[in-house]
């Protein structure tokens, strides 16, 4: 039975990916891309990696899908979208097919000849778990054993927004997205938003001992923010520009501050004090959740502001 | 060793904190805050240099977890040299940007620069394959942001192209790292080297990693994204990209190549890399000769110079340890000389373009009379790039030549000499334009003196490197993982 599910899933993923690639309509491609994200999420569950499944569903299918749909709408509005994409040239198609088959072949060869690892990292993780401050190994790896990687990854997120903001030269850029004045939608929102917020907090809290954590919770929070945004309730007009920026940086700032505080005690960067690991991880994750939610929202709203005018040297102060 | 005295964490914390601070404080405070940061970075680099030369390579266990469970950082001679190089060049470019950019632009420049700097330091110090991936991601986004930041249509297009190329490279690298992890159960470079096993999995992994890194370094024929990105960016950004950013992926490639002893097991791959390098030298030189825009000449010159660095790989041969050592030293010296010379040349070129207000070569007429100091800076950088004595570039090529003789690979000598002729041709071609006289009225703008002096300083640095080459060479010969793995 399980084998049947797996094979169906496998064929489904391949078929959806192919449809997404060869579809001549961009809208259809985007829809299939979102579907692909969901199928991949199920694939991850089948592989026993629920953390990745959650992230894939929330970010890979959810947020990326919204961004893609939004870009499509923007292209349509500005008239830069042809209804049917021209078919790729024969040479390109052959090159793409040959290179992807070569890659798949190489990967299959590599995976089927994979030796047994000389180092058993799982054992090392299990041994160190009691000192990590949490009981879910993924959270322990992300926020304790390899917290340095996570710190830099959060940096990448902040950087993405920073690049967006730097390109948005027009300071007074307003959202061009009108709210949807639909009473039914607003009634649904009053039910949906609290549920989404609670789910987000649950995911954050669950991260300590089961799948979940700041990234998934942040993505859920972002989804709630974006939903509000689309229906016309603008967060950006409620809070000042500076407050928003502080919110974007809060997670990274708190993480960096906790990381550096250990230096004062003469211990290496990112070391948690004896017995305080659990609390500090929760603190970092709480700040990260808020920031990730705001960062993903900002990526969405920045993409929605009107295209900036040609910069005239930009010699005027703020 | 007392952890509070180690400069290693500060080399990462200061730029990261700098990025956060310069995003939060009002525009007028961003430059002063950054200047403080720059000086602490320079200081931390010097302290690290002192510690490494006196007490040997430094190791640092992040979060107090030893590798392979945690992430280790390593500061050997090579890493320390690169820290010093990036600190000097990035500081010069930062001061240049401060004088060159408007307040508005500067305000966005600082956080991007700090992220760039953090990622560079992170990559030089990394000893973990996945950590290197994260470093590369941070570097890519900072660099793409900086290119896009000129915000005209051409630079936006160039930055998107750059982003696609860089992401493709990152994906290939990550796929390779995932395969290595599956085969060996570790991400730490030291434990990977210890348990290295040349099976099909590792071969495919190495192929993917090399392919990705070659694309990110813009090694011929994967270089097409580089000229529009480097040539189209704002001047201080062009200098940073050519001098430092492409060196990061090259550095990772080199570390993999030597520490996992790829040269020993895949000698044919060495020759292939050499052939790509030769292609880069000839094609880059030829294209530089045919450009009509000044910054594009300099950008194609970068393509050619990457070729010289790549020539190091076929010369690292298992049979001759002497030839290998010479090639290693020559390659690193080449890279170092290029960092200073190319930063100097891009900044000098930017000054000239600022003067004439036009990017093309024809409008340079009369410049050698009007801006002699700046032409001098351009020329000194050119001397190092051409490999004329006395300069860092000359010593580097001399070492590479010697290594080719010693390992009996005469064909690389031909490439080196031909490449030199081409570099001389494209540098002198720019000069020829500046000596032309026109009857047109002078409507030149005068750049600030500080802009010209910074360009001159970097170019002089590349020449000085010719006199003090012994010093960086001693530094990279300090005991460490790379020296142990060399034949």
For B281-291, the pLDDT digits (tens) are: 999 999 999 99
Say if the Cβ atoms of A318 and B27 lie within 8 Å: yes
Q: Are B125 and B8 in contact (CB under 8 A)?
A: yes
A122 found inside a domain: no
Kindly state the percentage of chain B with pLDDT values over 90.
77
Using a CB-CB distance cutoff of 8 angstroms, which residues of chain A are in contact with residue B66?
none
Would you state the pLDDT for residue A175? Answer: 52
- Is any Cβ of chain B less than 8 angstroms from the Cβ of A96? no
- Contacts of residue A112, defined as CB under 8 A and 6 or more positions apart, other chains included, come to none
| Residue-level pLDDT at B288 | 95
B 88-127 residues inside an 8 A Cβ radius of A: 102-105, 107-108, 111-112, 115, 118-119, 122
Q: Per-residue pLDDT tens for A26-56? A: 889 999 999 999 999 999 999 999 989 988 9
A118 contact residues in B (CB cutoff 8 A): 184-186, 195, 197
Same domain, A4 and A102: yes
Residues of B in contact with A159 (CB under 8 A): 19, 112, 115, 138, 141-142, 145
Classify residue B74 by burial, with Cβ atoms within 10 Å: 0-12, 13-18, 19+: buried
Pick the last residue of a domain from A60, A79, A113: A113
Helix H, strand E, coil C: the string for chain A is CHHHHHHHHHHHHHHHHHHHHHCCCHHHHHHHHHHHHHHHHHHHHHCCCHHHHHHHHHHHHHHHHHHHHHHHHHHHHCCCCCCCCCCCCHHHHHHHHHHHHHHHHHHHHHHHCCCCCCCCHHHHHHHHHHHCCCCCHHHHHHHHHCHHHHHHHHHHHHHHHHHHHHHCCCCCCCCCCCCCCCHHHHHHHHHHHHHHHHHHHHHHHHCCCCCCCHHHHHHHHHHHHHHHHHCCCCHHHHCCHHHHHHHHHHHHHHHHHHHHHHHHCCCCCCCCCCCCHHHHHHHHHHHHHHHHHHHHHHHHHHHHCCCCCCCCCCCCCC
CB-CB contact of B14 with B37 (8 Å): yes
User: Which residues in chain B have their CB less than 8 angstroms from residue A169's CB?
Assistant: 104, 151
A123 contacts chain B (CB < 8 A): no
Q: What are phi and psi of B174, to 5 degrees?
A: -65, -40
Name the H helices within B126-266: 129-148, 153-184, 189-194, 200-217, 226-232, 235-240, 246-259, 262-265
From residue A193, give the alpha-carbon distance in Å to each of A199, B154, B188. 10, 42, 43
Cβ–Cβ below 8 Å for B13 and A316: no
Query: What length does chain A have?
Result: 318
Q: What is the pLDDT of residues B206-241, one digit of tens each?
A: 999 999 999 999 999 999 999 999 998 999 999 999
Q: How far lies A262's CA from each of A108, A265, B12, B131, B210, in Å?
A: 45, 5, 14, 21, 37
Burial B288-304 (b: 16+ CB within 10 A, else e): bbebebbbbbbbbbbbb
Confidence of residue B65 (pLDDT cuts 50, 70, 90): very high
Report yes or no on A118 lying in a domain: no
Instruction: Report pLDDT for B193.
Output: 93
A311 Ramachandran zone, left/alpha/beta (phi>0; psi -120 to 50):
beta
Cross-chain residue pair A256–B13, CB shorter than 8 Å? yes
Confidence of residue A289 (pLDDT cuts 50, 70, 90): very high
pLDDT at B362 over 60: yes
Asked whether residue A155 falls in the same domain as residue A302, the answer is yes
User: What is the count of residue pairs from A and B with beta carbons less than 8 Å apart?
Assistant: 195
Answer whether B236's CB lies under 8 Å from B96's CB.
yes
CB contact under 8 A, A256 and B9: no
Chain B neighbors of A167, CB-CB under 8 A: 148-149, 151, 156
**CB contact at 8 A, B161 and A95:** no
Partners of residue B175 in chain A, C-beta under 8 Å: 107
**In this predicted structure, what is the pLDDT of residue B347?**
96
Are both A12 and A84 inside the same structural domain?
Answer: yes
**pLDDT score recorded for residue A264:** 85
- Going by pLDDT thresholds of 50, 70 and 90, the confidence category of residue B274 is very high
pLDDT tens, residue by residue, B124-152: 999 999 999 999 999 999 999 999 887 67
Q: Which residue has the higher pLDDT, A207 or B249?
A: B249
Do both A187 and A298 map to the same domain? yes
Asked if A282 contacts A209 with a C-beta cutoff of 8 angstroms, the reply is: no
CB contact under 8 A, A145 and B204: no
The predicted structure's pLDDT at residue B113: 96
Q: Decide if A96 is inside a domain.
A: yes
**Mean pLDDT score of chain A, rounded to an integer?**
85
Q: Which span out of A20-29, B11-20, B153-162 was modeled with the highest average pLDDT?
A: B11-20
Contacts of B203 in chain A (CB under 8 A): 110
Number of domain units in chain A: 2
Give the minimum alpha-carbon distance from A180 to chain B in angstroms, rounded to a whole number.
32
Picking from B184, B317, B257, the residue whose alpha carbon sits closest to that of residue A119 is B184
What's the confidence (pLDDT) of residue A303? 67
A229 in the same domain as A101: no
Question: Two tokens at A102?
Answer: 């070569």
Residue A274 pLDDT > 90:
no
Give the angle A132-A136-A140 at the CA atoms, nearest 5°: 35
Task: Determine the distance in angstroms separating the CA of A143 from the nearest CA of chain B, rounded to an integer.
Answer: 10
Same domain, A97 and A231: no
A interface test, pick of B13, B17, B65, B177 with most A CB neighbours within 10 Å: B65
Q: Given CB atoms, is A178 within the 8 Å cutoff of chain B?
A: no
* Residue that the structure tokens 């240049």 belong to: B96
Are A206 and A299 in a shared domain?
Answer: yes
Tell me, what's the pLDDT at B132? 97
Scanning every residue of chain B, which has its alpha carbon at the shortest distance from the alpha carbon of A142?
Answer: B70
Q: CB B141 to CB A266 under 8 A?
A: no
Q: Cβ B183–A119 below 8 Å, yes or no?
A: no
Residues of chain A neighbouring B105 (CB-CB closer than 8 A): 314
Q: Do B16 and A165 touch (CB under 8 A)?
A: no
pLDDT exceeds 50 at position A307: no
| Nearest residue of A to residue B63, measured between CA atoms | A271
Q: How many residues does chain B have?
A: 487
Cβ neighbours for A190, distance < 8 A, ≥ 6 positions apart: none
Question: Which of B62, B112, B203 has the CB atom closest to A268's CB atom?
Answer: B62
Interchain contact B40–A (C-beta under 8 A): no
Chain B (122-141) residues lying within 8 Å, Cβ to Cβ, of chain A: 122, 130-131, 134-135, 137-138, 141
8 Å CB contact between B394 and B387: yes
Residue A315 belongs to a domain: no
Give residue A53's Cα distance to chain centre. 12
Q: Show which of residues 157-176 on chain A sit within 8 Å of chain B, judged by CB atoms.
A: 158-160, 162-163, 165-167, 169
Select the residue of B135, B145, B186 nearest A159 (Cβ to Cβ).
B145
Query: Nearest 5°: phi and psi at B74?
Result: -130, 135
Is the model's pLDDT at B162 over the cut of 70?
yes
The lowest-confidence range among A259-263, A306-310, B328-332 is A306-310
Q: Is A310 on the interface with B (CB under 8 A)?
A: yes
Considering the entire predicted model, what is its pTM?
A: 0.94
B169 vs B217: CA distance, rounded Å = 9
State how far residue B50 is from chain A, nearest Cα, in angstroms: 20
pLDDT at B104 over 60: yes
| C-alpha atoms less than 13 angstroms from C-alpha of B236 in its C-beta half-sphere | 25
- pLDDT 10s digits, B425-473: 999 999 999 888 776 666 778 888 999 999 999 999 999 999 999 999 9
pLDDT recorded at residue A314: 35
B61–A contact, CB cutoff 8 A: yes
**Residue A177 — very low, low, confident or very high, per pLDDT cuts 50/70/90?**
low
How much is the pLDDT for A309?
41
Does residue A196 sit in the same domain as residue A60? no
Q: Say if the Cβ atoms of A162 and B145 lie within 8 Å.
A: yes
Position B375 scores a pLDDT of 92
Contacts with B115 (C-beta within 8 Å, 6 or more apart), sequence order: A155, A159, A162, B15, B16, B19, B138, B141, B142
Highest mean pLDDT of the ranges A112-116, B87-91, B359-363: B87-91
Least confident span in B117-131, B172-186, B310-324: B310-324
Alpha helices per DSSP H over B407-476: 410-435, 449-464, 470-476
Residue A306, pLDDT > 60, answer no
| B142 contacts A159? CB cut-off 8 A | yes
Per residue in B288-314, pLDDT (tens digit) is 999 999 999 999 999 999 999 999 999
Residue in chain A nearest B201 by alpha carbon? A110
Asked if omega into B390 is within 30° of 0 (cis), the reply is yes
**CB < 8 Å to B204, chain A:** 106-107, 109-110
The answer on A166 and A42 residing in a single domain is: no
Distances (CA, A) of B365 to A64, B288, B358, B361: 51, 19, 11, 8
* List of chain A residues whose C-beta atoms are within 8 Å of the C-beta of residue B148: 163, 166-167
Of A83, A113, A143, the residue at which a domain comes to its end is A113
Evaluate if residue B17 carries a pLDDT over 60. yes
CA-based nearest distance B202→chain A, Å:
8
Minimal C-alpha gap between A92 and chain B (Å): 17
Chain B contacts in chain A segment 66-95 (CB below 8 A): none
Same domain, A137 and A178: yes
Mean pLDDT of A239-244: 80
Report the pLDDT averaged over residues A250-275.
91
List CB contacts (< 8 A) between B115 and chain A.
Answer: 155, 159, 162
Within 13 Å and on the Cβ side, how many CA atoms surround B259? 22
pLDDT at A236: 64
pLDDT for residue B442: 66
B471 at A interface, C-beta within 8 A: no
The answer to whether residue A145 neighbours chain B at the CB level (below 8 Å) is yes
Contact B350, B238 (CB under 8 A): yes
- Domain residues for the domain of A154 are 131-307
Q: Is residue A107 over pLDDT 50? A: yes
Under an 8 A CB cutoff, do A269 and B13 touch?
yes
> Domain boundary residue among A66, A82, A113?
A113
Query: What DSSP line would sit under B190-204, residue for residue?
Result: HHHHHT---SHHHHH
């Amino acid at each position: 039975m399980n084998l049947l599910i797996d094979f169906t899933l496998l064929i489904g993923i391949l078929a959806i990916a192919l449809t997404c690639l060869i579809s001549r309509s961009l809208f259809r491609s985007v829809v299939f891309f979102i579907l692909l994200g969901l199928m991949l999420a199920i694939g991850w569950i089948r592989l026993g990696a629920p953390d990745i499944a959650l992230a894939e569903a929330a970010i890979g299918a959810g947020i990326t899908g919204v961004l893609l749909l939004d870009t499509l709408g923007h292209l349509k509005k500005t008239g830069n979208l042809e209804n049917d994409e021209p078919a790729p040239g024969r040479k390109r198609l052959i090159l793409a097919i040959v290179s992807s088959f070569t890659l798949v072949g190489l990967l299959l060869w590599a995976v089927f000849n994979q030796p047994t690892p000389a180092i058993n990292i799982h054992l090392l993780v299990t041994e160190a778990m009691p000192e990590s401050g949490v009981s879910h190994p993924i959270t322990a790896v992300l926020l304790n054993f390899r917290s340095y990687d996570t710190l830099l990854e959060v940096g990448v997120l902040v950087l993405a927004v920073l690049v967006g903001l730097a390109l948005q030269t027009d300071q007074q850029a307003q959202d061009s997205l009108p709210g949807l004045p639909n009473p039914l939608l607003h009634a649904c929102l009053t039910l949906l938003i609290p549920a989404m917020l609670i789910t987000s907090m649950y995911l954050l809290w669950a991260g300590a001992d089961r799948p979940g954590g700041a990234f998934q919770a942040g993505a859920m929070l972002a989804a709630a923010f974006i939903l509000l945004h689309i229906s016309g309730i603008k967060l950006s007009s409620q809070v000042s520009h500076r407050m928003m920026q502080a919110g974007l940086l809060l997670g990274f700032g708190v993480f960096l501050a906790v990381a550096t505080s250990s230096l004062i005690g003469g211990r290496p960067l990112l070391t948690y004090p004896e017995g305080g690991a659990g609390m500090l991880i929760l603190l970092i994750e709480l700040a990260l959740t808020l920031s990730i939610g705001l960062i993903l929202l900002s990526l969405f709203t920045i993409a929605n502001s009107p295209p900036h005018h040609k910069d005239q040297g930009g010699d005027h102060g703020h | 060793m007392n952890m509070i005295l180690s400069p290693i964490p500060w080399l990462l914390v200061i730029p990261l904190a700098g990025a956060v601070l310069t995003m939060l404080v009002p525009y007028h405070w961003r430059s002063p805050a950054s200047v403080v940061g720059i000086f602490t970075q320079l200081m931390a680099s010097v302290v690290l240099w002192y510690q490494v030369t006196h007490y040997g390579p430094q190791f640092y266990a992040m979060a107090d977890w030893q590798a392979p469970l945690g992430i280790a950082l390593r500061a050997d001679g090579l890493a320390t040299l690169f820290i010093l190089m990036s600190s000097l060049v990035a500081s010069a470019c930062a001061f240049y940007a401060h004088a060159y950019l408007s307040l508005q632009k500067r305000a966005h420049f600082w956080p991007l620069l700090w992220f760039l700097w953090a990622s560079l330091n992170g990559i030089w110090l990394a000893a973990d394959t996945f950590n290197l991936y994260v470093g590369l991601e941070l570097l890519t986004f900072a660099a793409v942001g900086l290119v896009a930041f000129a915000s005209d249509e051409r630079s936006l297009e160039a930055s998107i192209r750059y982003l696609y190329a860089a992401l493709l490279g990152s994906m290939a690298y990550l796929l390779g790292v995932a395969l290595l992890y599956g085969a060996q159960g570790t991400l730490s470079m030291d434990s990977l080297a210890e348990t290295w096993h040349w099976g099909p999995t590792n071969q495919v992994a190495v192929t993917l990693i090399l392919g990705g890194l070659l694309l990110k370094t813009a090694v011929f024929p994967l270089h097409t994204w580089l000229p529009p990105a480097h040539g189209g960016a704002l001047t201080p950004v062009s200098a940073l990209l050519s001098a430092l950013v492409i060196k990061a992926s090259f550095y990772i490639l080199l570390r993999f190549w030597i520490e996992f002893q790829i040269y020993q097991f895949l000698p044919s791959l060495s020759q292939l890399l050499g052939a790509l390098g030769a292609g880069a030298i000839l094609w880059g030189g030829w294209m530089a000769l045919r450009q009509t825009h000044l910054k594009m000449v300099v950008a194609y010159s970068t393509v050619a110079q990457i070729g010289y660095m790549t020539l190091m790989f076929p010369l690292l041969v298992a049979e001759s340890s002497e030839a290998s050592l010479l090639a290693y030293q020559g390659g690193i010296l080449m890279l170092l000389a290029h960092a200073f010379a190319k930063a100097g040349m891009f900044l000098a070129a930017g000054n000239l373009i600022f003067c004439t207000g036009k990017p093309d070569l024809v409008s340079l007429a009369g410049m050698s009379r009007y801006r002699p100091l700046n032409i001098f800076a351009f020329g000194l950088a050119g001397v190092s790039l051409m490999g004329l004595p006395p300069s860092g570039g000359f010593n580097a090529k001399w070492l590479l030549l010697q290594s080719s003789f010693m390992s009996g690979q005469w064909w690389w000598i031909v490439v080196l000499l031909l490449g030199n002729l081409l570099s001389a041709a494209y540098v002198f071609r720019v000069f020829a334009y500046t000596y032309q006289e026109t009857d047109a009225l002078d409507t030149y703008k005068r750049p600030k003196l500080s802009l010209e002096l910074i360009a001159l300083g970097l170019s002089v640095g590349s020449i000085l490197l010719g006199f003090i080459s012994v010093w960086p060479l001693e530094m990279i010969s300090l005991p460490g993982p790379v020296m142990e793995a060399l034949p």
